[in-house]
Amino acid sequence: MRLSVNGITRDVDVEPDMPLLWVLRDELGITGVKYGCGIAQCGACTVHVDGLPVRSCQLAVGDVDGEVTTIEGLGSPDALHAVQKAWIEHQVAQCGYCQSGQIMSAAALLSENSTPSDADIDDAMSGNLCRCGTYPRIREAIKAAAQTIRSA
């Protein structure tokens, strides 16, 4: 099976019903994407497929049709994505486990809406759980990243 991940085409020898999460982590060694709940409820496994956020724990690799982007491929080789920069500047992460999924969901939101309201942010991020409760910092980081994107 052929899969394009972070701009690199890879061949993987797996069953088509294997979850994308396990292909990324176990077959390709891309560990930024995390296993959280396994039932697509927490968001830790969020990646983009053709720019749209998806839960990789419940997406069979055989159903992937498009470019997969993980947290490792979000920015450019020379620079972090605006959301990644904002996460650092606003010290969002505590334990950090959910953060790659949070960042991927936030980046997808901002690719569609560079002026999100609090309600837009809450709606887009509602499926991403943070056990540490950094939701106020998450919202502020998304607003800062939106400002950076609009200014670019």
- Which domains are assigned to the chain? 2-72 (3.10.20.30), 82-151 (1.10.150.120)
In this prediction, residue 86 carries a pLDDT of 98
Question: 126 pLDDT band (50/70/90 cuts)?
Answer: very high
Gyration radius of the chain's alpha carbons: 15
Is 90 exceeded by the pLDDT of residue 77?
no
Average of per-residue pLDDT across 115-138: 95
pLDDT over threshold 90, residue 48: yes
Long-range contacts made by residues 32-36, C-beta under 8 angstroms, separation at least 24? 32/70, 32/71, 32/72, 32/100, 33/70, 33/71, 33/100, 33/101, 34/97, 34/98, 34/100, 34/101, 36/97, 36/98, 36/101, 36/129
Q: What is the dihedral of CA 151, 111, 131, 80, to 10 degrees?
A: -60
106 close to 129: Cβ distance less than 8 angstroms: no
